[in-house]
């Protein structure tokens, strides 16, 4: 247990998990829609505020897990309730807690039926998502990972668009089928580790090559579907398009990150040799995703679909960063996970705002709204710039670091990824051009109202972070630096020189 800093103060992480659940239970008692909205906003905001002490108290100088709490849970199997954060998860945790209040705000008028049930789903979702990022017991992780499917299924299936049933069932089946073998792998690891589900115990254990390969493949299926990596992405556009705005934001900003987080937290430390062996395969899948996502996004006429496919491309960059297996790539990948959460989340919020006004997500019906909604297009413009990694915005820093890592790894690989960046500029500018200037063939839209205060409040923090990370990324990188360095050191030590061999082959 020497790699843990046991929490001495109040049980912060547990509060972040259980506060939303308690809030959801309390909401069952009061049957009032307006109350449900204000109450959920209050609970999610309080959760966000309470996550700040985690940030301020976080010790950047160590790679160990911090704020650790441990309680016995299921004694007979040595399953414990253990939570903690390190440099890899702390940013993702904060992003989760901070995005939730805005999801509530985005649903304020958008959700008209069964408001209470919707808010309960959001709160349970939040608890599970926070839990996934802080769980240090593999069973706890798996339970929360799967439990998340239920509220998300409800969010899409009840409050979604016209093809909601198809989308929700597809989402559920894909992700569940993907993680079934993950469970088997977890139990197998349990016996390999003297009957312990404790994640730090499972890392860096030098499993046999064959075992590593099987572990990696089981993990890969689960995480690649969640990311989603090309060609496991087919559930994503459907789910994104049909989900209500808050659902899309949660999916894009947080749920997709769980796949890449899973790679970093489990696949790399538990199967380092297999990671090196399969690395070229994963890298080229990432490249394929980047290019494919870019071209497909270019062809979309539905704005939500466009952003959904752009996510496939952006997440391709993240997996690229992870699997080039060097400091710069992984730091860039973690930063880009956060960036994508901010930028794509904000873009989905924007589309939701247009949809609330025009009841269409088609590009052509949003053509030219810019002249009536100047504030809105200002926001949209900045987020689009961020999406295609315009210098000065957050994504630029992330993509730059990833590409730097890719160059360090292999030049052809980095060159292959570059068209993705160009494509991103193409489809984003195409959307922006239509929305801001548009044509004259559109019906009269002078009745459109610009953003109200609630909507400006919803979007502003996203914009703030776009530029903060874009202009001064160092504080964010500092949060993860030691953990990533440590990860890389251990990785190089445990991949048994396989890395050097692989590098030699690639060069």
Partner 1 sequence: MLFLPELTLLGAGLVFFALSLGNHPCDTIRNVAITLFAIVLATTLATVNMTGGLFYDAFRVDLFSQTFKVLIVLATLIVVVFTDTMPGVSAKYKAEYYIFLSMSVLGLMMLVSSVELLAIFVALELSSFAVYIMVPMRSTEHGSKAQMEAGIKYLLFGVAATGFMLFGMSYLFGLTGSTRLDVIITQLSTMYTQPVVVIAVALVLSGFFYKLALFPFHFWVPDIYQGASNETTAFIAAVPKIAAVAMLTRFVILAGDTGQVMVNLLMVCAVASMFYGNLSALVQKDLKRMLGFSGIAHAGFVLVGLLTFKITGYTAALYYITGYVFMNLACFLVICSVSKDGTNLAIEDLSGLYKRAPLLALTLTIGLFSLAGIPPFVGFTGKFMLLVNALKEDYLLLVVLAAINTAIAIYYYLSVVRLAFCTDTEDRGQVQTSFLTNAASVLLIICIIVMGILPSQFLNLAQSSISVIM
Helix axes 12-29, 115-134, angle to 10 degrees: 170
List the one residue from 1, 74, 375, 418 that touches partner 1 (CB under 8 A): 74
CB atoms within 10 A of CB 5: 15
Of the candidates 220, 232, 233, the one whose C-alpha atom is nearest the C-alpha of residue 309 is: 233
Binding mask 149-178 for partner 1 (x = CB under 8 A): xx--xx--xx-----xx--xx--xx--xx-
Of the candidates 436, 305, 329, the one whose C-alpha atom is nearest the C-alpha of residue 383 is: 436
Residues near partner 1 (CB under 8 A), total: 33
Smallest separation, CB 155 to partner 1 (Å): 11
Smallest separation, CB 180 to partner 1 (Å): 5
Residue closer to partner 1 by CB (options 210, 453) is: 210
Distance, CA of 505 to CA of 45 (rounded, Å): 51
30 binds partner 1 (CB under 8 A): no
Distance, CA of 456 to CA of 469 (rounded, Å): 20
Of the candidates 167, 317, 102, the one whose C-alpha atom is nearest the C-alpha of residue 227 is: 317
Q: Name the region of 195 (left: φ>0; alpha: ψ -120 to 50; beta: rest).
A: left
List the one residue from 77, 299, 375, 501 that touches partner 1 (CB under 8 A): 77
142 binds partner 1 (CB under 8 A): yes
Assess contact for 319 and 227: CB atoms under 8 A: yes
Residue closer to partner 1 by CB (options 177, 501) is: 177
Smallest separation, CB 54 to partner 1 (Å): 24
List the one residue from 2, 9, 56, 191 that touches partner 1 (CB under 8 A): 191
Which of these ranges, 188-196, 262-270, 395-403, 431-439, lies near partner 1 under the rule CB under 8 A?
188-196
List the one residue from 22, 30, 42, 184 that touches partner 1 (CB under 8 A): 184
Smallest separation, CB 156 to partner 1 (Å): 9
Smallest separation, CB 348 to partner 1 (Å): 21
217 binds partner 1 (CB under 8 A): no
> Which CB contacts under 8 angstroms, 24+ apart, belong to 138-143?
138/186, 138/189, 138/190, 138/197, 138/198, 138/199, 138/202, 139/74, 139/77, 139/79, 139/186, 139/197, 140/73, 140/79, 140/80, 140/81, 140/82, 140/83, 140/197, 141/199, 142/179, 142/182, 142/183, 142/186
List the one residue from 183, 288, 448, 482 that touches partner 1 (CB under 8 A): 183
Which residues form the interface with partner 1 (CB under 8 A)? 73-77, 139, 142-144, 146-147, 149-150, 153-154, 157-158, 164-165, 168-169, 172-173, 176-177, 180-181, 183-184, 187-188, 190-191
């Amino acid at each position: 247990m020497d790699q843990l800093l046991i929490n001495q103060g109040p049980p912060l992480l547990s509060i972040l998990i259980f506060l939303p659940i308690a809030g959801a239970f309390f909401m069952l008692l009061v049957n009032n829609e307006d109350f449900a909205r204000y109450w959920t906003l209050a609970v999610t905001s309080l959760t966000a505020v309470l996550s700040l002490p985690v940030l301020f108290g976080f010790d950047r100088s160590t790679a160990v897990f911090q704020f650790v709490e441990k309680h016995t849970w299921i004694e007979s199997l040595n399953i414990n309730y253990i939570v903690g954060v390190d440099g890899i998860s702390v940013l993702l945790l904060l992003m989760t807690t901070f995005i939730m209040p805005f999801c509530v705000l985005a649903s304020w008028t958008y959700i008209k039926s069964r408001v209470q049930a919707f808010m309960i789903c959001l709160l349970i979702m939040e608890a599970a998502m926070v839990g996934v990022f802080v769980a240090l017991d593999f069973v706890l992780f798996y339970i929360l990972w799967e439990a998340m499917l239920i509220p998300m299924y409800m969010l899409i299936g009840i409050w979604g668009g016209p093809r909601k049933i198809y989308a929700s069932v597809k989402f559920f089946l894909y992700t569940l089928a993907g993680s079934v073998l993950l469970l088997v792998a977890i139990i197998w690891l349990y016996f390999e580790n003297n009957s312990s589900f404790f994640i730090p115990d499972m890392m860096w254990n030098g499993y046999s090559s064959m075992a590593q390969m099987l572990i990696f493949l089981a993990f890969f299926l689960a995480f690649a579907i969640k990311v989603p990596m090309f060609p496991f992405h087919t559930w994503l556009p459907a789910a994104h398009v049909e989900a209500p705005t808050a659902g899309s934001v949660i999916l894009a900003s947080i749920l997709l990150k769980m796949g890449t987080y899973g790679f970093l937290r489990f696949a790399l430390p538990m199967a380092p040799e297999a990671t090196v062996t399969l690395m070229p395969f994963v890298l080229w899948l990432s490249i394929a995703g980047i290019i494919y996502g870019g071209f497909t996004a270019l062809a979309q006429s539905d704005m939500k679909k466009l952003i959904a496919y752009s996510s496939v491309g952006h997440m391709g960059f993240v997996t690229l960063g992870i699997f080039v297996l060097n400091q710069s790539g992984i730091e860039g990948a973690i930063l880009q996970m956060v960036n994508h959460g901010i930028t794509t989340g904000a873009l989905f919020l924007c589309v939701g705002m247009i949809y609330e006004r025009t009841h269409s997500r088609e590009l052509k019906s949003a053509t030219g709204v810019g002249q009536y909604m100047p504030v809105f297009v200002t926001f949209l413009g900045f987020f689009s710039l961020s999406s295609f990694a315009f210098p000065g915005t957050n994504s630029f820093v992330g993509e730059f670091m990833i590409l730097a890592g890719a160059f360090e790894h292999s030049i052809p690989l980095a060159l292959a990824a570059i068209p993705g960046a160009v494509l991103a500029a193409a489809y984003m500018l195409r959307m922006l051009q239509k929305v801001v200037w548009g044509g004259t063939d559109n019906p009269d839209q002078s009745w459109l109202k610009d953003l109200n205060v609630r909507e400006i409040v919803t979007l502003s923090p996203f914009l703030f972070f776009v530029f903060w990370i874009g202009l001064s990324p160092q504080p964010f990188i500092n949060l993860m630096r030691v953990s990533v360095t440590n990860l890389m050191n251990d990785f190089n030590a445990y991949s048994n020189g396989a890395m050097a061999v692989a590098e030699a082959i690639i060069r």
